[in-house]
Amino acid sequence: MTAAATLTLLVSSPRVAPGLLSREAWRTLDRVSASGAVLAGDLDDPLAGAVMAEGIEVTLVGDALGHPDRTAVRLVEATADGDVVWLGSADGDPGLSDALAAEVSRRQDPPQVEVLVGSWDVPGGRLLDAVAVMDRLRSEGGCPWDREQTHTSLLPYLAEEAGEAAEAIAALQTPEGHVEDVAEELGDVLFQVLFHARVGAEGATPVAGEDGASWPPFDIDDVAATLVAKLVRRHPHVFGDSDASTPEEVQAQWQEIKAAERAAKAARRR
């Protein structure tokens, strides 16, 4: 009796470079490409591009995008000639798993279906989504209101969102508090940080009193890099060879470091 072919659904994180797949994912792609088929719904998809860049042939399922039922039929039919790997799209192929379940269940000799995770989201990966959304809102064709904002016009919202986040956190000490509210309000604060960083990246922040002059641009990576450097600098007992083993010692050390930072900043501005 001939063993049933296998349909492997290769899924990966769109927030990780598409070529950074697990060893098992590459081994499966190599094996199946030698005797079966590697299929994709869009050859311009980053994952398909990364696989083809490694010399693996990828076949386009031309009518797949947006049609999970049709895609399911094509994938199952393709297993008649051997094992198949389907390169999942960045949006997770909505509806495909249900369509595959229905298609497989109605066949007398269905293929084995397995999901192979090629890469996982790294912690903080969804922050990249937030940056991308902010860029889209601010870009040509984005939101007219968002596009006209400046650092100055956004100031009231930064103060308002920070206050609402503080209220939500304080409310956790009461029966009315909810962690969902804290997460939402902190998200609003994060949005303001992303907003100011996106405005800063455009390099359109005017210098007071200087006609036509503007401050140098900065972006969200500059903001993050500055924060990381500050955290490392202010925690020598963690990242260096300083010794502070109690909260009180840490606080005293923190104040000394901040005083030195203020002095250095004042000297730079003379």
What H or E segment, with its residue span, contains residue 27?
helix 23-35
Q: Whose CA is closest to 131, among 223, 232, 228, 11?
A: 223
pLDDT in tens, 229-259: 999 999 999 998 888 889 999 999 989 999 9
Q: With bands split at pLDDT 50, 70 and 90, how would you rate the model's confidence at 269?
A: confident
Q: Please report, for the domain that includes residue 10, its CATH number.
A: 3.40.1010
Asked if residue 17 and residue 113 are part of one domain, the reply reads: yes
The residues facing 8 across adjacent strands are 85, 114
200 vs 226: CA distance, rounded Å: 14
190 and 139 within one domain: yes
CB 251, CB 259: distance < 8 Å: no
pTM strictly above 0.85: no
SS3 content of the chain, % helix, strand, coil (to 5): 55, 10, 35
Question: Is residue 62 domain-resident?
Answer: yes
- Report the distance separating Cα 253 and Cα 237, nearest Å: 9
209 and 175 co-located in one domain: yes
Q: Is position 229 within any domain?
A: no
Q: What is the mean pLDDT of residues 101-105?
A: 93
User: Is 212 within the bounds of a domain?
Assistant: yes
- Sheet containing 112-117, strands listed edge to edge, beginning at the edge strand earlier in sequence: 59-60, 37-40, 84-87, 6-11, 112-117
**Count of the separate structural domains present in the chain:** 3
Same-domain pairing of 18 and 93: yes
Q: Do 44 and 113 lie in a common domain?
A: yes
Please give the full DSSP string across 180-202, using - where no structure is assigned. HHHHHHHHHHHHHHHHHHHHHHT
Q: Pick from 57, 83, 117: which residue ends a domain?
A: 117
pLDDT in tens, 119-169: 998 889 899 999 999 999 999 999 999 999 999 999 999 999 999 999 999
Instruction: Kindly state whether residue 228 falls inside one of the protein's structural domains.
Output: no
Give 156's contacts (C-beta < 8 A, 6+ positions apart).
Answer: none
Tens of pLDDT along 21-69? 999 999 999 999 999 999 999 999 999 999 999 999 999 987 766 789 9
Do both 157 and 193 map to the same domain?
yes
What is the domain extent for residue 159?
A: 126-223
CA distance 198 to 151: 10
What is the reported pLDDT for 175? 93
128 alpha-carbon distance from chain centroid: 4
d(C-alpha 47, C-alpha 40), whole Å? 9
